[in-house]
Amino acid sequence: MVLVDEHGEKDGGIMVDFRGKPVDKSRTGGWLAAGLILGTELSERICVMGISMNMVTYLVGDLHLSSAKSANIVTNFMGTLNLLGLLGGFLADAKLGRYLTVAISASIAALGVTLLTLATTIPSMRPPPCQNSRKQQCMEASGRQLAMLYAALYTIAVGGGGIKSNVSGFGSDQFDTSNPKEEKAMIYFFNRFYFCISLGSLFAVTVLVYIQDNVGRGWGYGISAGTMIIAVMILVCGTRLYRFRRPQGSPLTVIWRVLYSAWNKRSLSYPPLPTMLNEYYSATLPHTGKLRCLDKAAILDDNGIANGTKDNAAVVSTVTQVEEVKMVLMLLPIWSTCILFWTVYSQMNTFTIEQATFMNRKVGSFEIPAGSFSFFLFITILLFTSLNERILVPVARKITHTVQGITSLQRVGVGLAFSIIGMVAAALVEKRRREHFVHENVKIAAFWLVPQFFLVGAGEAFAYVGQLEFFIREAPERMKSMSTGLFLCTLSMGYFVSSLLVSLVDKATNGRWLMSNLNKGKLENFYWMLAVLGVLNFFVFLGFATRHQYKVQNYVVPENGGEEGLKQQNQDMSDDADKVKVAIATEEP
């Protein structure tokens, strides 16, 4: 929960207006300011989802690239975008503040989508048309033709990363949680923020994808560019209405200092007693024996004490800082097992869309664009998110007699299981699709893809919330802002691992599995491989999860506590619940 102290400071940062003076709450913040900020996130969703869910069809059909290379271009783009969210968060925390970071990032994203519009419109940026773009004799796009496309995509990635990591936090800054009315409004803000994410995604995979396929890529991306430019103008026009929080420094700096100091002091001997470490008795976290090598960062050597001209924190860390870094590093085993879920998820953006292009997509006389089948993915995510909140969690609470009902790691485990089943379904459908075409020359209905969208979407509803809740609740109190960054890294690494696997499989099979003409390939074998890797990853996850000790123990209703005990536990969990809502609103892959 965001805290406001008696001096009007929010999370340690003074809230000011655009002139740098203490805010006049009657003239700044509130729904008007937050609504203007929501427009930026809506535009970002329209741009990114409109690109990621339909770019592979352009790369294969118009630029005549192989399916493997096309998939890698999309996954590398999405991986970079999510990874750059860390950079955007760091710049906002350390120097620029959220408003400037969002405004600059949105402007960069607008430039990127404009470049993409030009790259897909100018005839010289495409190879000569080919009657059958699925055959290898078609001329592929040259490096010069791809250069502008890459420049556009990675410009969008820079801008999208900055928006993604800051816009929800900037929106929440417009509400004062010391005021009960504004605190209640902030909860509605996150609900509406999530609604904007879903609305933008659904618009992108239906209306925008249809325009791209049936009217023209230039028109589709041009609408995205225009939307983002308008969003930037609206954001800037509302400058006088916003409440700003001054940058207070990034927790990444603390982590870097501890690791750097521990490495520099690796040759020093441990002190006889841990009480001799820097600020041992004033530490806000108890000293632990885990990852003992990091304790050397808190050793008080002569150089650290004698040099009074330097900031001592840069020379020697405190026990609190060391223990905070230990807590972050202890999250990495679970973090590593979450990556493969997003590797599976990335297939919904690439090969599954490519499958749809080889299937019967007609409903009457209307042909559904291949990219629009992602509609079933987002609908399933929204459906299971609602079911979790309204049915599954309340039932689990009654069974387990805990307020959580389902722990964060249990959610992640369910999500991983769904992703494995999703890949099995994808493999079976692809085998059926290819055999029907090869042996009977029949295109089966593209609605056969719905099960894999459904299963992976259901998995995301569990894994997405579970991962966020885990990172938020288990991270150090002063490093809560890093929780979204850790989550974005799992998305990023998932997309990059997908690119790596596709490249390795394509090379190992001499292109026989992942051919541009899927009717001649063996895409189902790639899906089976992901399912097997998912099973192995699931058992590794179980090993880490069963050994993990939660920082906050499960809240069990006392036998004699009755209703009052449950009420107190709900009160104790309110801070964590608010933080989860903030993070859930921050990112929708």
The whole-angstrom separation of Cα 192 and Cα 197 is 9
pLDDT reading at 422 higher than 70: yes
**Residue 34: predicted pLDDT:** 85
Question: By C-alpha distance, which of 515, 416, 495, 490 is closest to 459?
Answer: 416
The whole-angstrom separation of Cα 484 and Cα 552 is 19
The whole-angstrom separation of Cα 571 and Cα 296 is 39
Provide the phi-psi class of 138: left if phi over 0, else alpha when psi is between -120 and 50, else beta: beta
Cβ(495)–Cβ(350) under 8 Å?
no
The whole-angstrom separation of Cα 385 and Cα 488 is 19
Residue 16, strand partner residues: 22, 244
CATH assignment of 13-249, given 1.20.1250.20, 1.10.3720.10, 3.40.190.10, 1.10.510.10?
Answer: 1.20.1250.20
Write the pLDDT tens digit of every residue in 487-501: 778 888 999 999 999
Number of alpha helices (DSSP H) and beta strands (DSSP E) in the chain:
23, 5
**Residue 271: predicted pLDDT:** 85
Burial of 564 (0-12, 13-18, 19+ CB in 10 A): exposed
Across 314-334, average pLDDT: 84
The whole-angstrom separation of Cα 189 and Cα 51 is 27
Write the pLDDT tens digit of every residue in 475-525: 776 666 566 677 778 888 999 999 999 999 988 998 888 887 888 889 999
User: What's at 490, amino acid-wise?
Assistant: T
Across 433-448, average pLDDT: 89
The whole-angstrom separation of Cα 195 and Cα 382 is 10
pLDDT reading at 404 higher than 80: no
Cβ(206)–Cβ(375) under 8 Å?
yes
Helix (H) or strand (E) holding 10: strand 9-10
Across 110-114, average pLDDT: 93
Joined tokens for residue 438: 């090869």
CATH assignment of 326-551, given 3.40.1350.10, 1.20.1250.20, 3.40.50.1100, 1.10.1040.10?
Answer: 1.20.1250.20
pLDDT reading at 559 higher than 60: no
**Residue 321: predicted pLDDT:** 87
The whole-angstrom separation of Cα 343 and Cα 332 is 17
**Residue 6: predicted pLDDT:** 34
pLDDT reading at 265 higher than 60: yes
- What are the angstrom distances between the C-alpha of 389 and each of 198, 234, 483? 17, 34, 22
Mean pLDDT highest for which of 28-42, 58-72, 83-97, 536-550?
Answer: 536-550
DSSP code per residue over 185-251: HHHHHHHHHHHHHHHHHHHIIIIIHHHHHHT-HHHHHHHHHHHHHHHHHHHHHTGGG--EE-----H
Among the listed ranges 3-17, 161-175, 285-299, 426-440, which one has the minimum average pLDDT value?
3-17
Cβ(196)–Cβ(38) under 8 Å?
yes
Cβ-Cβ contacts under 8 Å for 468 (sequence gap 6 or more): 483, 484, 487, 580, 583, 584
Cβ-Cβ contacts under 8 Å for 207 (sequence gap 6 or more): none
pLDDT reading at 540 higher than 50: yes
3-state secondary structure of 184: helix
User: What's at 94, amino acid-wise?
Assistant: A
pLDDT reading at 50 higher than 70: yes
Phi, psi of 234 (to 5 degrees): -65, -40
**Residue 336: predicted pLDDT:** 92
Q: Would you say the CATH fold of 326-551 matches that of 13-249?
A: yes
Cβ-Cβ contacts under 8 Å for 112 (sequence gap 6 or more): 152, 153, 154, 155, 156, 157, 158, 159
- What are the angstrom distances between the C-alpha of 447 and each of 84, 122, 286, 571? 35, 34, 56, 46
pLDDT reading at 198 higher than 70: yes
The whole-angstrom separation of Cα 65 and Cα 347 is 17
- What are the angstrom distances between the C-alpha of 306 and each of 301, 311, 315? 9, 11, 11
Across 250-261, average pLDDT: 85
Would you list the domain boundaries of the chain?
Answer: 13-249, 252-322, 326-551
Per the prediction, the chain carries an average pLDDT of 81
